[in-house]
Amino acid sequence: MAAKRKLQAARNGGLGLGALTSLAAVAAGGWILYSKFAVDHHQLLPDAIAAERKEFLSKTAGQLSYYVDQRAGGRPLVVLHSINAAASAYEMGPLFEHYRSKRAVYALDWPGYGFSERSSRVYSAQVFVDALVDFLTSQVGEPADVVALSLGAEFATLAALAHPELFHSLTLISPTGMNPTVRANGSQIAKQTGASDVLHPILSAGLWGRPLFDLVASHSSINFFLRKSFSGAVPPGFVEYAYASAHQPGAEHAPLYFLSGKLFTPQVRSLVYEKIKTPTLAIYDRDAYTTFGALEELLLHNPAWQAVRLVPSQGMPHYERTADTAEVMDAFWKGIK
């Protein structure tokens, strides 16, 4: 009798697992159909910044878009947004607005984001580095003070290491690559271990690549992740703009490379940050997506670096504490010989 009960339980368990599997398959299929036919991937996308927007053809990165205000003249300031599922120059709007009456300001949309080309192609750190070098060479035309956010900091520093003549200074806000390996996030670990080479084809498969991205880029998901970057509430309009930016044709291509970890540079601290000669400032405090445990050692190894901790702030101090961030940057630039 006991054996019979066990057999019956095993059968019931098998049926339960099979039912759950079938239910999951139906749900996944339903979402794929919903994404294809019910989600609007052609959202109206206004300009991220109320300024003149221009485009140019990069030799290596395709058609790129940027915002510019040159009326004040002076040494150019270039601001670069982060890399995530729904990034754009909108992230750098407060700094653009703060400085546009004081100096020439540029805000680039990285390849695959904003109004820049979002074609299906290979996205790599080198693509972003080349895009920035092309932009500084062909559109800015003189050494600039470059401000980069999060993973954009890695690209900017790689570009400055290869082409120091294009940079007067670097300011890196909440830069990635400062955390010890044991504290790296999932995407960084995937790159370090080589798992990203397997992960990206899985995430970007034609049947479910865009539906998967639609889950990551939903209103609730964007709001969830953005809340972690602000000490207070997410500023009005931010979620709505990020959602619209993530619902454009081809919007999934670059972010899926990011999510799989393929855009990070392994050992960027030792191979890049420790070797940079351009005067460099790090602005940071707490960040839900990276840590800064290796920053103190970097400051000891490389005299080109300075760091200021803006307390309290999360990953976007330039957005919620614009005046304080500008004060720190102004003092840094004043001290450069």
- What pLDDT is recorded for position 194? 57
The number of domains in the chain is 1
* Residue among 247, 202, 220, 230 nearest 287 (CA): 230
Residue 312 domain-assigned (yes or no):
yes
Residue 326 domain-assigned (yes or no):
yes
Residue 24 domain-assigned (yes or no):
no
Instruction: Supply 35's token pair.
Output: 């994404």
- What pLDDT is recorded for position 210? 77
DSSP annotation of 41: S
Q: For 261, left (φ over 0), alpha (ψ -120 to 50), or beta?
A: left
Residue 35 domain-assigned (yes or no):
no
Residue 11 domain-assigned (yes or no):
no
Residues 290-319, mean pLDDT to the nearest whole number: 95
* Residue 113 backbone phi and psi in degrees, to 5: -135, 160
Distance CA 273, CA 161 (A): 9
Residue 5 domain-assigned (yes or no):
no
Whole domain around residue 295: which residue ranges?
52-334
pTM of the model: 0.86
CATH code, 142: 3.40.50.1820
Q: Is 274 exposed, middle or buried (0-12, 13-18, 19+ CB in 10 A)?
A: middle
**Rg of the Cα atoms in the chain:** 22
pLDDT tens for residues 165-221?
999 999 999 999 998 754 445 555 544 555 556 455 555 545 556 778 888 889 999
Q: Inform me whether the pLDDT recorded for 15 exceeds 90.
A: no
pLDDT band of residue 109 (cuts 50, 70, 90) is very high
- What pLDDT is recorded for position 216? 87
β-strand 305-309 against 280-284: which pairing, if any?
parallel
Residue 123 domain-assigned (yes or no):
yes
Residue 249 domain-assigned (yes or no):
yes
Q: Inform me whether the pLDDT recorded for 45 exceeds 70.
A: yes
Instruction: Supply 337's token pair.
Output: 């010989």
- What pLDDT is recorded for position 16? 58
pLDDT tens for residues 278-300?
999 999 999 999 999 999 999 99
